[in-house]
Structure 1
Amino acid sequence: MIKSELVQIVAARNPHLYHRDVENIVNAILDEITDALSSGNRVELRGFGAFSVKNRPARTGRNPRTGETVFVEEKWVPFFKTGKELRERLNPGMDDEEDDDAD
Protein backbone atom coordinates (compact mmCIF):
# COMPACT_ATOMS: atom_id res chain seq x y z
CA MET A 1 0.00 0.00 0.00
CA ILE A 2 1.24 3.45 -0.84
CA LYS A 3 0.35 6.72 0.88
CA SER A 4 -2.23 7.75 -1.74
CA GLU A 5 -4.02 4.41 -1.31
CA LEU A 6 -4.07 4.91 2.46
CA VAL A 7 -5.59 8.37 1.97
CA GLN A 8 -8.27 6.93 -0.34
CA ILE A 9 -9.18 4.20 2.16
CA VAL A 10 -9.41 6.60 5.09
CA ALA A 11 -11.45 9.07 3.00
CA ALA A 12 -13.83 6.28 1.91
CA ARG A 13 -14.37 5.21 5.53
CA ASN A 14 -15.00 8.81 6.57
CA PRO A 15 -17.26 10.33 3.89
CA HIS A 16 -17.94 13.35 6.12
CA LEU A 17 -14.31 14.47 5.67
CA TYR A 18 -12.94 16.14 2.56
CA HIS A 19 -10.31 14.18 0.67
CA ARG A 20 -7.78 17.03 1.03
CA ASP A 21 -8.37 17.06 4.80
CA VAL A 22 -7.70 13.33 5.03
CA GLU A 23 -4.53 13.81 2.99
CA ASN A 24 -3.42 16.60 5.34
CA ILE A 25 -4.13 14.39 8.38
CA VAL A 26 -2.14 11.45 6.99
CA ASN A 27 0.75 13.76 6.07
CA ALA A 28 0.68 15.36 9.53
CA ILE A 29 0.84 11.96 11.25
CA LEU A 30 3.72 10.76 9.09
CA ASP A 31 5.56 14.06 9.53
CA GLU A 32 5.22 13.85 13.32
CA ILE A 33 6.56 10.27 13.33
CA THR A 34 9.48 11.37 11.13
CA ASP A 35 10.22 14.41 13.32
CA ALA A 36 10.15 12.30 16.49
CA LEU A 37 12.52 9.70 15.01
CA SER A 38 14.91 12.35 13.70
CA SER A 39 15.01 13.79 17.24
CA GLY A 40 15.98 10.36 18.59
CA ASN A 41 12.59 9.66 20.17
CA ARG A 42 10.57 6.45 20.05
CA VAL A 43 7.03 6.38 18.64
CA GLU A 44 4.64 3.76 19.99
CA LEU A 45 1.25 3.05 18.47
CA ARG A 46 -0.45 0.64 20.87
CA GLY A 47 -1.56 -2.57 19.19
CA PHE A 48 0.33 -1.70 16.01
CA GLY A 49 3.97 -1.36 16.96
CA ALA A 50 6.83 0.92 17.88
CA PHE A 51 9.19 2.91 15.69
CA SER A 52 12.67 3.66 16.94
CA VAL A 53 16.11 4.51 15.61
CA LYS A 54 19.13 2.24 15.93
CA ASN A 55 22.77 3.02 15.41
CA ARG A 56 24.83 0.98 12.98
CA PRO A 57 28.50 1.52 13.75
CA ALA A 58 31.12 2.14 11.07
CA ARG A 59 32.48 -1.03 9.51
CA THR A 60 34.50 -2.41 6.66
CA GLY A 61 32.31 -3.72 3.85
CA ARG A 62 32.81 -5.23 0.44
CA ASN A 63 31.66 -4.06 -2.96
CA PRO A 64 29.73 -7.10 -4.26
CA ARG A 65 30.48 -6.28 -7.88
CA THR A 66 34.26 -5.83 -7.63
CA GLY A 67 35.07 -7.50 -4.33
CA GLU A 68 36.91 -4.34 -3.30
CA THR A 69 37.00 -3.50 0.41
CA VAL A 70 35.15 -0.28 1.25
CA PHE A 71 34.61 1.73 4.41
CA VAL A 72 30.96 2.07 5.45
CA GLU A 73 30.30 5.05 7.72
CA GLU A 74 28.27 4.98 10.91
CA LYS A 75 24.56 5.55 10.33
CA TRP A 76 21.23 5.71 12.08
CA VAL A 77 18.46 3.51 10.69
CA PRO A 78 14.74 3.31 11.46
CA PHE A 79 13.56 0.18 13.23
CA PHE A 80 10.01 -1.12 13.63
CA LYS A 81 8.89 -3.66 16.20
CA THR A 82 5.39 -5.04 15.79
CA GLY A 83 2.87 -4.81 18.61
CA LYS A 84 1.20 -7.83 20.14
CA GLU A 85 -2.17 -7.26 18.43
CA LEU A 86 -0.57 -6.92 14.99
CA ARG A 87 1.49 -10.10 15.50
CA GLU A 88 -1.66 -11.97 16.57
CA ARG A 89 -3.54 -10.79 13.47
CA LEU A 90 -0.66 -11.81 11.21
CA ASN A 91 -0.25 -15.21 12.89
CA PRO A 92 -3.71 -16.39 14.00
CA GLY A 93 -3.59 -19.33 16.40
CA MET A 94 0.11 -18.95 17.18
CA ASP A 95 -0.47 -17.75 20.77
CA ASP A 96 -2.68 -20.77 21.49
CA GLU A 97 0.16 -23.10 20.50
CA GLU A 98 2.71 -21.14 22.52
CA ASP A 99 0.45 -21.29 25.59
CA ASP A 100 0.12 -25.07 25.19
CA ASP A 101 3.90 -25.44 25.03
CA ALA A 102 4.32 -23.44 28.25
CA ASP A 103 2.31 -25.98 30.30
Structure 2
Amino acid sequence: MTKADVVSEIVKNTGIDKATVLKTVESFMEVVKDSLGKNENVYLRGFGSFIVKTRAQKTARNISKNTTIIIPAHNIPAFKVSKAFKI
Protein backbone atom coordinates (compact mmCIF):
# COMPACT_ATOMS: atom_id res chain seq x y z
CA MET A 1 0.00 0.00 0.00
CA THR A 2 1.40 3.38 -1.00
CA LYS A 3 0.89 6.81 0.55
CA ALA A 4 -1.65 7.58 -2.19
CA ASP A 5 -3.57 4.40 -1.31
CA VAL A 6 -3.60 5.38 2.37
CA VAL A 7 -4.88 8.86 1.50
CA SER A 8 -7.60 7.39 -0.74
CA GLU A 9 -8.74 5.00 2.01
CA ILE A 10 -8.93 7.82 4.58
CA VAL A 11 -10.90 9.98 2.12
CA LYS A 12 -13.30 7.10 1.46
CA ASN A 13 -13.78 6.33 5.18
CA THR A 14 -14.09 9.90 6.49
CA GLY A 15 -15.42 12.00 3.62
CA ILE A 16 -12.76 14.68 4.18
CA ASP A 17 -11.38 16.19 0.95
CA LYS A 18 -8.27 14.63 -0.51
CA ALA A 19 -6.06 17.74 -0.27
CA THR A 20 -6.64 18.06 3.48
CA VAL A 21 -5.97 14.37 4.11
CA LEU A 22 -2.79 14.46 2.00
CA LYS A 23 -1.51 17.53 3.87
CA THR A 24 -2.29 15.87 7.21
CA VAL A 25 -0.52 12.61 6.32
CA GLU A 26 2.55 14.44 4.99
CA SER A 27 2.62 16.65 8.09
CA PHE A 28 2.49 13.56 10.34
CA MET A 29 5.40 11.96 8.48
CA GLU A 30 7.40 15.21 8.69
CA VAL A 31 6.83 15.44 12.47
CA VAL A 32 7.96 11.83 12.95
CA LYS A 33 11.04 12.39 10.77
CA ASP A 34 11.99 15.60 12.60
CA SER A 35 11.50 13.98 16.02
CA LEU A 36 13.67 11.00 15.12
CA GLY A 37 16.29 13.41 13.76
CA LYS A 38 16.41 15.00 17.22
CA ASN A 39 16.78 11.54 18.86
CA GLU A 40 13.24 11.76 20.26
CA ASN A 41 10.99 8.69 20.10
CA VAL A 42 7.36 8.92 18.93
CA TYR A 43 4.85 6.74 20.82
CA LEU A 44 1.39 5.98 19.38
CA ARG A 45 -0.62 4.06 21.98
CA GLY A 46 -2.25 0.96 20.53
CA PHE A 47 -0.25 1.18 17.29
CA GLY A 48 3.48 1.26 17.96
CA SER A 49 6.55 3.39 18.48
CA PHE A 50 8.98 5.05 16.12
CA ILE A 51 12.27 4.77 17.96
CA VAL A 52 15.93 5.63 17.42
CA LYS A 53 18.31 2.70 17.80
CA THR A 54 22.07 2.99 18.10
CA ARG A 55 24.15 0.60 16.04
CA ALA A 56 27.52 -0.21 17.55
CA GLN A 57 30.79 0.26 15.73
CA LYS A 58 31.74 -2.78 13.68
CA THR A 59 34.45 -4.05 11.39
CA ALA A 60 33.52 -4.96 7.82
CA ARG A 61 35.43 -6.25 4.82
CA ASN A 62 35.74 -4.75 1.37
CA ILE A 63 35.94 -7.95 -0.65
CA SER A 64 37.02 -6.34 -3.93
CA LYS A 65 40.08 -4.66 -2.36
CA ASN A 66 40.59 -7.31 0.34
CA THR A 67 40.74 -4.69 3.11
CA THR A 68 38.99 -4.18 6.40
CA ILE A 69 37.05 -1.02 7.14
CA ILE A 70 35.55 0.27 10.37
CA ILE A 71 31.93 1.37 10.28
CA PRO A 72 31.42 3.90 13.11
CA ALA A 73 28.53 3.76 15.57
CA HIS A 74 25.42 5.46 14.19
CA ASN A 75 21.72 5.91 14.85
CA ILE A 76 18.98 4.27 12.78
CA PRO A 77 15.20 4.73 12.84
CA ALA A 78 13.04 1.72 13.71
CA PHE A 79 9.40 0.87 14.31
CA LYS A 80 8.30 -1.26 17.24
CA VAL A 81 4.77 -2.66 17.06
CA SER A 82 2.57 -2.42 20.17
CA LYS A 83 1.22 -5.57 21.79
CA ALA A 84 -2.35 -4.56 20.91
CA PHE A 85 -1.44 -4.21 17.22
CA LYS A 86 0.31 -7.59 16.78
CA ILE A 87 -1.60 -9.99 14.58
TM bucket, shorter chain:
0.7 to 0.9
User: In the alignment, what sits opposite 1:6?
Assistant: 6
Higher relative contact order (CA 8 A, sep 6+): 2
**C-alpha separation between the residues in 2 aligned to 1:29 and 1:56?**
26
TM-score under structure 1 normalisation?
0.74
Structure 1 residue runs without a partner (length 5+):
91-103
RMSD over aligned CA atoms reads: 1.5
Q: Structure 1 or 2: larger helix share?
A: 1
**C-alpha separation between the residues in 2 aligned to 1:69 and 1:3?**
40
Where does 1:13-32 land on structure 2 (aligned, <5 Å)? 13-15=13-15, 17-32=16-31
TM-score under structure 2 normalisation?
0.86
**Other structure's SS at 1:81 match:** strand
Identity value in percent: 29
**C-alpha separation between the residues in 1 aligned to 2:77 and 2:28?**
16
Q: Structure 1 or 2: larger strand share?
A: 2
Could you say which structure has the larger radius of gyration? 1
Where does 1:1-103 land on structure 2 (aligned, <5 Å)? 1-15=1-15, 17-63=16-62, 66=64, 68-87=67-86, 90=87
**C-alpha separation between the residues in 2 aligned to 1:52 and 1:19?**
29
How many residue pairs match? The answer is 86
Structure 2 residue runs without a partner (length 5+):
none
